[in-house]
Amino acid sequence: MLETIILGIIVLLFLWWLTQPNARFKKFGDAIPGPRPYPYFGDMLTAPLTGPNALDKHVALARKYNGTYRLYMGNILSVVVSSPEDIEAVLTSNSLINKAFTYEFLQSWLGTGLLTSTGEKWHARRKIITPTFHFKILDKFINVFNKHTDVLIKRLEKHCSQESFDVEMLLKRCTLDIICGNFRFSHFFMFSETAMGIETDEKSSVIVDYIKSVERIIQILSDRLTKPWLFSPITYALSGRYFIERKLLKTLKLFIDEVINMKQSDEADTKSSSEDFDDFGIKKKTAFLEMLLNIKSQPNTIIATDKDIMEEVNTFMFAGHDTSVSTLCYSLYLLAVNPKIQDMLYEDLIKTFHSKDKNFTREDLNEMKFLERVIKETLRLYPTVPFIGRNANEDIKLPSGYVIPKDAMVIVNIAYSHKNEKQYENPDVFNPDNFLPENVAQRHPFSFIPFSAGPRNCMGQRFALLEIKTILAKIVLNYKIEPANGNFKPMPDVKMVLHSCTGHKLRISKREM
């Protein structure tokens, strides 16, 4: 018995020693204010970066420590930056261009695609993928936005008589259809329309399986990203999460394999004229998956294998629909609880377009200035990615005076940046006028960064804004949005992307012209 107790004490002391910050981390960490860390866990029990309380917790910590503070993830020093000056220094620094080490946990799913890669691979991939988001490409897919949103509008009609319903799954189906429409084989995922309404085809269950698998794997990987006791492959496997992850990855792989195989078959059956190609034999201004397949067919290319294509398709599918759904859900909630603003938006849209059934052009979407302010204000209050992690390749001195030591993690606190009292009057109040040009001009440019900023900003932000505008405009033109019964309020839940652990319930009623 005594020997067992002594052995237990030795093991605990060893774990305590193993999880102590190294001397250099401790030296610099002690110079930065922050909450008290606990042995082994660091600050992840009291100040987690995921979960239902993460958003409010880190807004409060930033206010308490005047913008910059330190956390320990186990024994790893993390410096959290929240002021626009410090954020600008971090996001524009070439020494902080690599993602935090925790992003490596996503590689089992996303590989080393654009989101998770570093160094030359990231530079090369970014360079070749950027043209797929050119405005001339986006022009081609405005019709895709219109088409799938019209299906959503029809599907929403059956919910008019209900007291309340959760809109999230419908929006996920719509945005996923739009992504697949960008791949140009949306007939595989589309719903068949009949005179009696909408009925799903036999393939629709594939979408549901994919969406549910994405939801589950996001939860599992979010846990691992910020829980030091899951960093080790051994403890991760012992927790049972590893085996669940492998099963989910199999479902996701089957879906993406079919996506790629169908496009390859489509490409083989379609002949393109010579004028569609540039001097290197690559299609001019092609859509995303077409571009990847065209590049793969070239010699000595950075995208040479099916695995390379899988990485980027997985990344685009995840980033392209989950983030948009978050913004759409929270936008609808804010419009529901701010009926005067919703009425102003409806009047602005109907005055401009004179119809609830209009198919928008890119020019139409660019004219929707009030809607754009509503979307930006939603992103301010509910940023889709509240925290961004980077790794310091060298010592970095911040404008605030603190030093980030080499190999420490840097966390950009977008959640607080968007609620900084020095930048926004009444920062907790929904006010689209925050984004009137004269008000924007008075703020630091890095006080609003919903798509990140600097060389690793989100290259799909124009696609996302056009998609979100199309969906919101058509919903508001066709339906009046009302709060769910019982003063329902979504509870923000950070899982890499911002979700709600209480769902996104609302009520709708049909508008009459």
Q: Which amino acid is at 355?
A: S
Determine the Cα–Cα distance for residues 451 and 448; give it in Å rounded to an integer. 9
3 state SS of 40: coil
Are 35 and 43 spatial neighbours (Cβ–Cβ below 8 Å)?
yes
Are 295 and 277 spatial neighbours (Cβ–Cβ below 8 Å)?
no
Q: Which amino acid is at 38?
A: Y
Determine the Cα–Cα distance for residues 380 and 366; give it in Å rounded to an integer. 20
160-180 in b/e burial notation, b at 16+ Cβ within 10 A?
eeeebbbbbbbbbbbbbbbbb
Are 333 and 506 spatial neighbours (Cβ–Cβ below 8 Å)?
yes
67: alpha, beta or left? (left if phi > 0; alpha if psi -120 to 50): left
Determine the Cα–Cα distance for residues 419 and 433; give it in Å rounded to an integer. 15
Are 36 and 61 spatial neighbours (Cβ–Cβ below 8 Å)?
no
278-311 in b/e burial notation, b at 16+ Cβ within 10 A?
eeeebeebbbbbbbbbbbbeeeeeebeeeebbbb
Are 96 and 410 spatial neighbours (Cβ–Cβ below 8 Å)?
yes
458 is in an annotated binding site: yes
Determine the Cα–Cα distance for residues 89 and 392; give it in Å rounded to an integer. 12
Long-range CB pairs of 100-103, under 8 A, 24+ apart, other chains included: 100/389, 100/390, 100/391, 100/409, 100/410, 100/411, 101/76, 101/391, 101/409, 102/73, 102/224, 102/225, 102/226, 102/389, 102/409, 103/389
Q: Which amino acid is at 160?
A: C
Which distant-in-sequence residues (6+ apart) come within 8 Å of 133 by Cβ? 459, 460, 462, 463
467-491 in b/e burial notation, b at 16+ Cβ within 10 A?
bbbbbbbbbbbbbbbbbbeeebebe
Which residue ranges make up the annotated binding site? 458
Q: Return binding residues for heme.
A: 458
